[in-house]
């Protein structure tokens, strides 16, 4: 008998597992052959706490200390640029993301391929960091194992039912018993809920695509900041000597192993190309991930009042990594663990029971 | 139905599914408003479902409601059906020309009515018919969610809006942006109570109106 069977071995399941392991026996089940195969393996991997819904931002701010201490952050910087006609949108972004305004010349110094004739506005947040997402997942996986927990891959959940003694979870032909089930199934979290006979929460996956380009002009991109087009119309981020460019797309799709749509990618690359001096001559590879949101764009964390022992850890959207430590601590508190430091209004704002009235 | 060339007219195809590039971008801001005003259960009708991408997402985001997609153009129905086929609480699409008087007699007692990005593409006369029918189709307590670009205080509020409105009028002088104040007055006259319009990204507005 397990205390917590966690469905999903992405950042949500692993961070929750690490923080629940001190409270009971934890088993993480991942349906794919490796951890973080879906959205967690396709992240833009940036820690910028002022990005997302207000509740997410509170959890993201609370995550900074853990992420620094775990050694997964490296300085990056986060710059927003706009054209002359983007004045209003740029002003909104600058206020929301608490950007320091900089001159176009300064912006071009930081990101040398920017087209100074097109860029009219620039602002930067220096306290934005690249997240080593693989390392972060490994650290959490080790914490789970060290605390006596277990992680199984290729362990897709095929059945879920609730009996008098707790939950039974079917995986790889076996039935496993657990006092609680934690639904950390990302884009599939509502599918898992339905399998369990629990009403879905209202999650919708939104696709986000990414193209990997060779370093423009053979330049060393390692110190460049992430750059975002005002209004989040595209972004570019240096990664391992390459430049990743995303159309910042948000097309609603069904839960699936996502891939990039060629036309969406081409339109996004054109928006990027308009702002830089180096043409895009070659896309080395492309991929897409799913950002799954509840209708209020806010995380769904904690026990479901409609189903005893059924716990949600879903709706991370595009903020799963940057809010993971704070969210996992909040989830542990909601399940009787130590105080997370989050105020009561944040803990109630993330509760799945906001959808249960 | 008139044929218009719009920013989304060159929609990509994915099998039967058409993809409107702007559909995704405005969805989450819309659902963040809807989550505060929609009931947990009941019958919802979307008018002018277009590609069907929006109503499929509404179905997933609001699983307690039963969603009926519709469109006035027969050729749109296969794309809507393709997007919504996997969503259990979205019904097969029906042809419904919301600009023709009389449809509320068949579609009445609705808890929710949604309309996104249509009023600027139809004439004033068609718009007023649509709004009158909407008011009659709602059940007492029902809610109408209207999203799109509007003239505000008689003005087109940005250069981009002025250019878009001019491009529409060049294709058909009868169509173009409606005054939000006139829309609210029409809804009030038809028996609904509109809230203050909510500013949305890209200068759009969301208007929520309820039947008492």
> pLDDT tens digits for B192-206?
999 999 999 889 999
Residue B41 in contact with partner chain A when CB distance is under 8 A? no
Give the distance from residue B208's alpha carbon to the nearest chain A alpha carbon, in angstroms: 17
For residue range A184-224, list pLDDT tens digits in order: 999 999 999 999 999 999 999 999 999 999 999 999 999 99
Q: How confident is the model at residue B15 (pLDDT cuts 50, 70, 90)?
A: confident
Over residues A35-51, mean pLDDT: 94
Predicted local confidence at residue B13, as pLDDT: 67
Q: Is A173 exposed, middle or buried (0-12, 13-18, 19+ CB in 10 A)?
A: exposed
Percent of chain B clearing pLDDT 90 (strictly above):
84
Task: Please give the angle made by the CA atoms of A289, A322 and A205, to the nearest 5 degrees.
Answer: 30
Mean pLDDT of chain B: 93
Q: Please enumerate in sequence order all residues whose Cβ is within 8 A of that of A213, keeping only pairs 6 or more positions apart, or say none.
A: A242, A243, A244, A245, A280, A282, A283, A284
Over residues A231-236, mean pLDDT: 95
Instruction: Enumerate the residues of chain B whose CB falls inside 8 A of the CB of residue A293.
Output: 28, 31
Q: Judge: B61–A295 Cβ closer than 8 Å, yes or no.
A: yes
In this model, does residue A34 exceed pLDDT 60?
yes
In this model, does residue B112 exceed pLDDT 80?
yes
Instruction: Enumerate the residues of chain B whose CB falls inside 8 A of the CB of residue A249.
Output: 24
Q: How confident is the model at residue A142 (pLDDT cuts 50, 70, 90)?
A: very high
Over residues A235-251, mean pLDDT: 96
Q: How confident is the model at residue A283 (pLDDT cuts 50, 70, 90)?
A: very high
Instruction: Enumerate the residues of chain A whose CB falls inside 8 A of the CB of residue B24.
Output: 206-207, 249-252
Instruction: Enumerate the residues of chain B whose CB falls inside 8 A of the CB of residue A264.
Output: 12, 19, 21
Give the distance from residue B82's alpha carbon to the nearest chain A alpha carbon, in angstroms: 12
Across the interface, of A251, A267, A355, the residue whose CB is closest to B24 is A251
Residue B61 in contact with partner chain A when CB distance is under 8 A? yes
CA A20 – CA A208 distance, rounded (Å) = 30
Predicted local confidence at residue B1, as pLDDT: 58
Strand partners, A46: A130
Residue B74 in contact with partner chain A when CB distance is under 8 A? no
In this model, does residue A173 exceed pLDDT 90?
no
In this model, does residue B10 exceed pLDDT 60?
no
Cβ pairs A/B, distance under 8 A: 73
Q: What is the chain B residue with the closest CA to A297?
A: B32
Give the distance from residue B157's alpha carbon to the nearest chain A alpha carbon, in angstroms: 12
This prediction's pTM: 0.94
In this model, does residue B25 exceed pLDDT 80?
no
Over residues B36-49, mean pLDDT: 97
Strand partners, B43: B66
Mean pLDDT of chain A: 96
Q: Judge: B57–A203 Cβ closer than 8 Å, yes or no.
A: no
Closest listed residue to residue A27, CA positions, set A132, A141, A104, A188: A141
Across the interface, of A199, A249, A293, the residue whose CB is closest to B28 is A293
Contact B159, B187 (CB under 8 A): no
Across the interface, of A202, A207, A254, the residue whose CB is closest to B61 is A202
In this model, does residue B12 exceed pLDDT 70?
no
In this model, does residue A50 exceed pLDDT 90?
no
Contact B208, B33 (CB under 8 A): yes
Query: From the DSSP assignment, how many helices (H) and strands (E) are in chain A?
Result: 9, 20
Please count the CA atoms within 13 angstroms of the CA of A191 that sit on its side-chain side.
Answer: 17
Residue B24 in contact with partner chain A when CB distance is under 8 A? yes
Tokens of A298: 């806010």
For chain A, the residues whose C-beta falls within 8 A of a C-beta of chain B are: 85, 88, 190, 199-204, 206-207, 231, 249-252, 254, 261, 263-264, 267, 293-297, 355, 357
Percent of chain B clearing pLDDT 70 (strictly above):
93
In eight-state DSSP terms, residue A33 is S
Q: Which helix (H) or strand (E) holds A313?
A: strand A310-314
Predicted local confidence at residue B21, as pLDDT: 60
Predicted local confidence at residue A53, as pLDDT: 85
Give the distance from residue A69's alpha carbon to the nearest chain B alpha carbon, in angstroms: 34
In this model, does residue B71 exceed pLDDT 80?
yes
Q: How confident is the model at residue B22 (pLDDT cuts 50, 70, 90)?
A: low
Over residues B118-132, mean pLDDT: 97
Q: What is the ipTM of this complex?
A: 0.92
In this model, does residue B19 exceed pLDDT 80?
no
For residue range A64-108, list pLDDT tens digits in order: 999 999 999 999 999 999 999 999 999 999 999 999 999 999 999
Residue B101 in contact with partner chain A when CB distance is under 8 A? no
Predicted local confidence at residue B9, as pLDDT: 59
Give the distance from residue B40's alpha carbon to the nearest chain A alpha carbon, in angstroms: 8
Over residues A272-293, mean pLDDT: 96
Residue B166 in contact with partner chain A when CB distance is under 8 A? no
Predicted local confidence at residue A51, as pLDDT: 82
Q: What is the chain A residue with the closest CA to B85?
A: A254
């Amino acid at each position: 008998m397990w205390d917590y069977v966690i469905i999903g071995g992405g950042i949500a399941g692993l961070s929750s597992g690490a923080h629940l392991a001190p409270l009971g026996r934890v088993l993480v089940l991942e349906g794919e052959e490796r951890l973080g195969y879906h959205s967690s393996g396709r992240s833009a991997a940036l820690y910028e706490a002022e990005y997302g819904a207000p509740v997410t931002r509170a959890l993201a701010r609370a995550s900074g200390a853990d992420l620094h201490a775990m050694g997964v952050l490296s300085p990056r910087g986060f710059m927003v640029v706009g054209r002359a006609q983007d004045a209003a949108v740029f002003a909104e972004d600058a206020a929301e993301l608490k950007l320091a305004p900089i001159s176009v010349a300064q912006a071009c110094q930081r990101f040398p391929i920017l087209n100074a004739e097109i860029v009219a506005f620039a602002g930067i947040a220096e306290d934005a960091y690249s997240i080593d997402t693989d390392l972060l997942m490994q650290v959490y996986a080790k914490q789970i194992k060290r605390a006596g927990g277990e992680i199984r891959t290729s362990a897709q959940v095929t059945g879920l039912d609730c009996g008098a003694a707790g939950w039974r979870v079917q995986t790889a032909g076996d039935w496993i018993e657990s006092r609680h089930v934690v639904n950390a199934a990302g884009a599939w979290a509502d599918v898992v809920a339905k399998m369990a006979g629990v009403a879905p929460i209202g999650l919708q996956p939104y696709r986000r695509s990414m193209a990997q380009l060779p370093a423009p002009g053979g330049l060393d991109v390692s110190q460049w900041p992430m750059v975002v087009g005002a209004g989040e119309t595209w972004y570019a981020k240096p990664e391992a000597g390459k430049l990743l460019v995303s159309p910042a797309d948000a097309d609603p799709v069904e839960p699936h192993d996502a891939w990039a749509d060629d036309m969406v990618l081409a339109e996004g690359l054109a928006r990027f190309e308009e702002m830089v001096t180096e043409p895009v001559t070659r896309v080395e590879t492309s991929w897409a991930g799913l950002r799954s949101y509840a209708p209020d764009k806010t995380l769904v964390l904690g026990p479901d009042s409609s189903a005893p022992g059924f716990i949600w850890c879903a709706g991370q959207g595009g903020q799963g990594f940057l809010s993971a430590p704070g969210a996992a601590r909040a989830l542990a508190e909601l399940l009787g663990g130590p105080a997370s430091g989050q105020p009561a209004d944040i803990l109630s704002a993330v509760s799945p029971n906001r959808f249960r009235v | 139905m008139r044929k218009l060339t719009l920013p989304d007219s060159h929609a990509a195809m994915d099998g039967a599914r058409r993809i409107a590039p702007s559909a995704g971008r405005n969805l989450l801001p819309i659902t963040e408003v809807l989550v505060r005003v929609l009931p947990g259960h009941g019958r919802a009708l979307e008018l002018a479902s277009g590609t069907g991408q929006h109503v499929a997402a509404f179905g997933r985001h609001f699983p307690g409601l039963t969603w009926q997609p519709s469109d006035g153009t027969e050729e749109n129905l296969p794309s809507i059906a393709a997007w919504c086929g996997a969503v259990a609480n979205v019904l097969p699409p029906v042809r419904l020309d919301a600009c023709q008087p009389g449809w509320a007699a068949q579609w009445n007692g609705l808890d929710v009515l949604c309309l996104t990005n249509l009023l600027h593409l139809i004439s004033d006369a068609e718009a007023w018919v649509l709004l009158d029918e909407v008011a009659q189709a709602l059940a007492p307590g029902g809610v109408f969610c209207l999203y799109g670009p509007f003239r505000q205080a008689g003005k087109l509020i940005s250069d981009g809006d002025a250019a878009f409105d001019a491009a529409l009028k060049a294709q058909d002088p009868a169509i173009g942006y409606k005054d939000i104040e006139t829309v609210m007055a029409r809804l009030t006259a038809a028996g609904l109570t509109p809230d203050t319009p909510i500013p949305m990204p890209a200068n759009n507005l969301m208007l929520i109106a309820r039947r008492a």
